[in-house]
């Protein structure tokens, strides 16, 4: 077995937002760079749906979007991703967790283990972006800047419906019984990938056959190699747990804001950068436009849609130099404030 390249924060028995107690809750995390003596060079970089830090750390490189030579970068793995507490590694029935639960434990990690009281930036894509928004609203005294990339302050109705389709495709597999998967759902994973492909990429991406730029020879070749097995690397019960977190995401659904969305957004005081994908089908630009006008106490608030045909994936441009350059320039400007 390969040596583990990440650390575990043992949170102990934690009372969740739902009131349930999770015994022995664990948060897996990885750090890059060095914490300076003032402890003010910290970037928090939460993970996205189904992702582990291995999938997102490509963005961290000297001179890159997130530079470990200048910043101390912490990637906390979201619950349900198979490294932090998840259905696949928990001995107890897995309860419903929320972004608020995740942020609370991430806050404990930073303050208890590292003595950090300021975050130069919280950067996140997709579910990571939703966590960044939660951080900005719930810990305004701590967050100096937040970059929400293809994310939102709450799960919009069309986003919820998209996820209902994903769940339906996955759970139609015969290995889903009595509310959980008893075996790996090979058919369900393929169906989930096909459903996801239609939402994740844009109309123009398919119309103009942009998939050919990545070496695919036909639309079917693209779907088979890029999507049919993309989620099969994860535990299916873990994926359902994260979908639950995603669908219930709302920065205002906590004791501090009592469901008052305007009050939650007004609590944000950071420099805010909202970067939706211009062609994202489920984190729609219009949701960020609506939020922008409610960030009345933010030090600054900018909306910078990523001008890309890559839909939601514009926010994670692993092999997409143009979108990568856009992200890099916008984050450099944000960090200069």
Q: Which residues are catalytic?
A: 126, 280, 312
Dihedral, CA of residue 269, residue 271, residue 277 and residue 278, to nearest 10: 100
> Closest Cα partner for 94 from 109, 76, 105, 79?
79
Question: What are the helix (H) ranges across the chain?
Answer: 53-56, 99-108, 114, 127-138, 157-171, 186-200, 203-207, 219-226, 236-247, 261-266, 285-292, 321-335
Residue 61 structure tokens? 């490189």
Report the alpha-carbon distance of residue 64 to residue 49 in Å, rounded: 23
Report the alpha-carbon distance of residue 187 to residue 231 in Å, rounded: 11
Report the alpha-carbon distance of residue 166 to residue 170 in Å, rounded: 6
For helices 157-171 and 236-247, give the axis angle rounded to 10 degrees.
160
Report the alpha-carbon distance of residue 134 to residue 104 in Å, rounded: 10
Report the alpha-carbon distance of residue 105 to residue 131 in Å, rounded: 12
Report the alpha-carbon distance of residue 140 to residue 269 in Å, rounded: 6
C-beta atoms surrounding 1 within 10 Å: 3
Are the CB atoms for 155 and 172 separated by under 8 Å?
no
Report the alpha-carbon distance of residue 109 to residue 120 in Å, rounded: 16
């Amino acid at each position: 077995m390969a040596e583990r390249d990440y650390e575990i924060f043992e949170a102990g028995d934690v009372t969740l937002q739902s009131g349930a107690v999770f015994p022995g809750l664990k948060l897996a995390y990885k750090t890059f760079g060095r914490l300076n003596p003032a402890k003010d060079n910290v970037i928090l970089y939460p993970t996205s749906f189904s992702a582990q830090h291995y999938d997102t750390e490509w963005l961290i490189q000297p001179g890159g979007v997130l530079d470990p030579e200048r910043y101390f970068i912490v990637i906390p793995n979201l619950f349900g991703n198979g490294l932090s507490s998840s259905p696949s590694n928990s001995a107890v029935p897995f309860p419903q967790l929320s972004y608020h639960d995740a942020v609370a434990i991430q806050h404990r990690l930073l303050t208890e283990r590292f003595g950090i009281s300021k975050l130069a930036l919280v950067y996140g894509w997709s579910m990571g972006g939703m966590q960044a928004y939660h951080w900005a609203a719930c810990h305004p005294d701590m967050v100096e800047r937040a970059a929400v990339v293809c994310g939102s302050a709450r799960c919009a109705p069309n986003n919820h419906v998209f996820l209902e389709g994903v769940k339906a495709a996955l759970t139609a597999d015969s290995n889903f019984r009595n509310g959980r998967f008893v075996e790996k759902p090979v058919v369900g994973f393929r169906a989930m990938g096909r459903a996801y492909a239609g939402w994740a990429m844009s109309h123009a991406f398919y119309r103009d056959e942009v998939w050919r730029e990545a070496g695919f020879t036909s639309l079917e070749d693209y779907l088979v190699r890029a999507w049919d097995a993309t989620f099969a690397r994860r535990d299916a019960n873990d994926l359902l747990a994260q979908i639950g977190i995603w669908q219930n995401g709302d920065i205002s659904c906590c004791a501090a804001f009592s469901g008052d969305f305007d009050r939650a957004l007004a609590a944000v005081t950071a420099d805010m950068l909202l970067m939706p994908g211009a062609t994202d089908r489920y984190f729609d630009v219009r949701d960020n436009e609506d939020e922008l006008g409610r960030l009345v106490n933010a030090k600054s608030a900018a909306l910078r849609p990523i001008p890309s045909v890559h839909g939601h994936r514009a926010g994670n441009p692993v092999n997409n130099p143009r979108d990568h350059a856009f992200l890099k320039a916008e984050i450099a400007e944000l960090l200069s404030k």
